[in-house]
Amino acid sequence: MTTRPTVRAANGLVASGHPLATSAGLAALREGGNAADAAVAAAAVCAVVMPHRTSIGGDMFALIYDARSRDVTAYNGSGAAPHALEPETFGGAFPARGAAVATVPGLIAGLADLVGDHGRLGFDRALAPAIGYAENGFPVTRLLAEAMAAEGERLAEDEAAVQVFGPRGRWPGVGEMLQQPDLADALQAIARDGADAFYRGDLGERFATAIASIGGAIDRADLAAHRTERPEPLALNYRGLRLFGQPPVSQGHILLEELAIIEGIDVRSLE
């Protein structure tokens, strides 16, 4: 088993799922931004360079601590199910995947609200690195190449996916550049007009039309009704520490439950 070395820094740290995202977060800090700016910049880049894991069509959850006020705020950036769906829509066979079960994407609004509430640099600055990688391209990682190869048969069923990820007539290999110009255009519109570009603008209308064409139920009314929730975070006293976590619908509460269970156990004595 291998481990990575402990990283320490005097002024700030950024951890993410991709080096380019980490770099974007560090750049935000160097430009005078704070943790919110860095987190949003990194998350936006992840939505471009890790399409096998996340996208602007996903959700977000965040916990942020304000050192001045000593307040902890939870952000629930997950969307509701479309209003057109009813409990009996799927009967007893709820599908595991597909547009029919897609919920309103909450990531864009969540990132905009997070940086708007706590950031210093603005949403447009936070999205700039992501726009650059979408427009100019980025080198495909081994994990992304393997994911596209593994899911190639399913991706090939989606004409739009083929246009985006397989313009050469095949899925890209490790180190090849992947450009996403349409995604760059969408991010530029969001940077210019804010989250409303997606939830209440032309971009949202195009999204609703596209998802309806593949069996989805999200419409413009669902998008316009979306708001980021700020629920009361869960808190736990654990061995002299005060720990915070996300309440449901996030799964963050599971860690707090596990810690509460083992608090009375001498973990070091266990083999």
pLDDT tens digits for 203-241? Answer: 999 999 999 999 999 999 999 999 999 999 999 999 999
Query: Terminal CA-to-CA distance of the chain, rounded, Å?
Result: 18
Going by the DSSP 8-state scheme, the letter that residue 229 receives in this structure is B
- In terms of C-beta density within 10 A (0-12 exposed, 13-18 middle, 19 or more buried), how is residue 6 classed? exposed
For residue 143, pLDDT over 80 is answered with: yes
Average pLDDT score, the chain: 94
Whole-model pTM: value is 0.93
Q: How confident is the model over 58-83, as pLDDT tens digits?
A: 999 999 999 999 999 999 999 999 99
Q: How many domains does the chain have?
A: 1
DSSP structural state of residue 171 = -
Q: Looking at residues 114-143, what average pLDDT do you find? A: 98
Query: For residues 44 and 30, what is the distance between their CA atoms, to the nearest angstrom?
Result: 18
The boundaries of the domain holding residue 239 are 234-271
**pLDDT at residue 93, rounded to an integer:** 79
Question: Considering the domain boundaries, does residue 240 fall inside one?
Answer: yes
Instruction: Please choose, from the candidates 195, 230, 223, 229, the residue with its C-alpha nearest in 3D space to the C-alpha of residue 102.
Output: 223
Is 90 exceeded by the pLDDT of residue 265?
no
pLDDT at 38: 98
For residue 74, the surrounding DSSP H or E stretch is strand 71-77
* Number of Cβ within a 10 Å radius of residue 180: 19
Q: Which residues contact 32 (CB under 8 A, 6 or more apart)?
A: 120, 121
What is the mean predicted confidence (pLDDT) over 183-209?
97
Give a yes or no: residue 134 inside a domain: no
pLDDT digits (tens, 9 = 90+) for 24-67: 999 999 999 999 999 999 999 999 999 999 999 999 999 999 99
* pLDDT confidence of residue 1: 55
As a whole-number percent, the residues of the chain with pLDDT over 70 amount to: 99
Q: Which residues contact 108 (CB under 8 A, 6 or more apart)?
A: 56, 190, 195, 198, 199
Please indicate, yes or no, if residue 201 is contained in any of the structural domains: no
pLDDT at residue 166, rounded to an integer: 94
Any domain includes 260 = yes
Proportion of the chain above pLDDT 90, given as a percent? 85
Q: For 104-113, 194-203, 244-253, which range has the lowest pLDDT when averaged over its residues? A: 244-253
Asked, for residue 92, whether it belongs to a domain, the answer is no
Q: Which residue has the tokens 């690195």?
A: 129
Write the DSSP string, 108-151. HHHHHHHHHHH-SS-HHHHHHHHHHHHHH-EEPPHHHHHHHHHT
Instruction: Confirm whether 50 is domain-assigned.
Output: no
Tell whether 249 is covered by a domain. yes
Assess if residue 44 is contained within a domain.
no
Q: Reduced to 3 states, what is the DSSP secondary structure of residue 262?
A: helix
**What pLDDT digit, counting tens, does each position of 86-104 carry?**
877 777 777 888 888 899 9
